[in-house]
Structure 1
Amino acid sequence: MKRTSNILIVAALAGGALLSACGNKGAHNRKPGKIYAPDMYESRAYEFYSGRLAGLKPVEGTVKRGAMLPYHLKAEDTAQANAVRNPLVLDEAGIKEGKRLYDIYCGVCHGQKLDGNGPLYKGGDGPYPAAPASFIAGKVLGYSEGRIFHVITHGYNVMGSYASQLDIEQRWKVVAYIKNIQGGGKAPEPAAAPAADSAATAPAAAPAVAAAQ
């Protein structure tokens, strides 16, 4: 009998605790506990390269490992841009990458065929009223690779800059693709054999020279 009474008491206490928990569920959600470590719960926002992070700013005049040299010409330096040459020597894969980037960022205006008739113009039926420049006819056909890169970097007339969408190397790849098409689509010449290869053949020729003597 005593054992039965103890079981009933424990069951009653457990049931009361359960009902209490269910009844206070909403109140518990409305009043969360105090945050023990607020800096970990809500991280502070920092302006990069300012305050305590100012010492992490790259040294002025340095270039990130693997990155190309920065482009220093201003938008008004068109004459100097005409003389700039593409620093990249691209194979067929590099030209294909230039085409991929062109199709994404340039084709919508200048057309997949580089004829200035992209979807935004669409022969005058598109949403853009003015015909974009053609790369295969007109004055742009005579632009140097440096001039095209300069326009992509700074924009020209109603065309904005694409420097934020394409990094320096990507811009040069787009230029290489455009000039490749302007040149008749000829694949780039293969890179010259490294000097080490010619040096390696020298010992083979030496015995013949010695025999001739």
Structure 2
Amino acid sequence: MKRTSNILIVAALAGGAFLASCGNKGPHHRNPGKIYAPDMYESRAYEFYSARLASMKPVEGTVKRGAMLPYHLKAEDTAQANLVANPLVLDKAGLEEGKRLYDIYCGVCHGTKLDGNGPLYKGGDGPYPAAPPAFLTGKVLGYTEGRMFHVATFGFNVMGSYASQLDIEQRWKVVGYIKNMQNGGKAPAEAAPAAAPAADSATAAAPAVAAAH
């Protein structure tokens, strides 16, 4: 009998504790405890156009996924730039994109016909008094793609840098388009279809042998 009474007392105490913990006035109500990593529990908010966020730059030496490797030559490294080859092999679509970018960013000075007669010069009637260099005649015709890319990156004489308007790949596409036009503007040849595998010599000879008999 005593044992039964003890069991009932323990059960009553446990039930009371459970009800107290579930009640609105329990000791742990509205108290989630300590957070181990609050910055991960509640991420810090940034204003997108704030000065702090605008000043954040990629880690030094890193390259954005899918982007080309950075250009390491300095403005004064003109001689080395002449030796830099275009890393892109442009197909028809690549040349069309190069032309589109050229017309937007270069045609206003150098002319969409690459003749140095863009709207800013306009045969001497435009706001710019001196004729910009033409790409199809004169000394620029002998520039390598590396030299033209270098000029587009750092500027030259009165021409400013276009590195902020065109990324590395876009600059190479523009240069590739200019060089293609200097070489006659021929579109790259389409890849020839794969030749059918040659027939086995024994199989090919079989009809001839049959005809002889």
Confirm or deny a common fold (TM above 0.5): yes
SS in 2 for 1:130: coil
Number of equivalent positions = 160
Q: Measure, in 2, the Cα distance between the counterparts of 1:72 and 1:92.
A: 29
Go from structure 1 to structure 2 and tell me whether the alpha carbon gap of 1:43 and 1:137 turns closer, same or farther (over 3 Å shift).
closer
Instruction: Specify the alignment match of 1:6 in structure 2.
Output: none
SS in 1 for 2:53: coil
Q: Which residues of structure 2 form unaligned runs of 5+? A: 1-44, 204-213
Go from structure 1 to structure 2 and tell me whether the alpha carbon gap of 1:62 and 1:179 turns closer, same or farther (over 3 Å shift).
same
Instruction: Specify the alignment match of 2:91 in structure 1.
Output: 91
Mapped pair 1:48 → 2:50:
no
SS in 2 for 1:63: coil
Go from structure 1 to structure 2 and tell me whether the alpha carbon gap of 1:66 and 1:108 turns closer, same or farther (over 3 Å shift).
same
Q: Measure, in 2, the Cα distance between the counterparts of 1:86 and 1:178.
A: 12
Go from structure 1 to structure 2 and tell me whether the alpha carbon gap of 1:190 and 1:150 turns closer, same or farther (over 3 Å shift).
farther
Amino acid in structure 2 at the alignment position of 1:175 = V
Instruction: Specify the alignment match of 1:32 in structure 2.
Output: none
Q: Measure, in 1, the Cα distance between the counterparts of 2:48 and 2:180.
A: 51
Which segments of structure 1 move beyond 6 Å, counting only runs of 4 or more? none
Go from structure 1 to structure 2 and tell me whether the alpha carbon gap of 1:84 and 1:47 turns closer, same or farther (over 3 Å shift).
same
Identity %: 76
Shift of 1:189: 3.8
Instruction: Specify the alignment match of 1:107 in structure 2.
Output: 107
The TM-score normalised by the length of structure 1 is 0.66
The TM-score normalised by the length of structure 2 is 0.66
Within 5 A, what are the aligned runs for 1:5-44?
none
Instruction: Specify the alignment match of 2:137 in structure 1.
Output: 137
Shift of 1:65: 1.1
Amino acid in structure 1 at the alignment position of 2:135 = F
Go from structure 1 to structure 2 and tell me whether the alpha carbon gap of 1:192 and 1:174 turns closer, same or farther (over 3 Å shift).
farther
Q: Measure, in 2, the Cα distance between the counterparts of 1:189 and 1:63.
A: 33
SS in 2 for 1:47: helix
Q: Which one has a bigger Cα radius of gyration?
A: 2
Instruction: Specify the alignment match of 1:155 in structure 2.
Output: 155
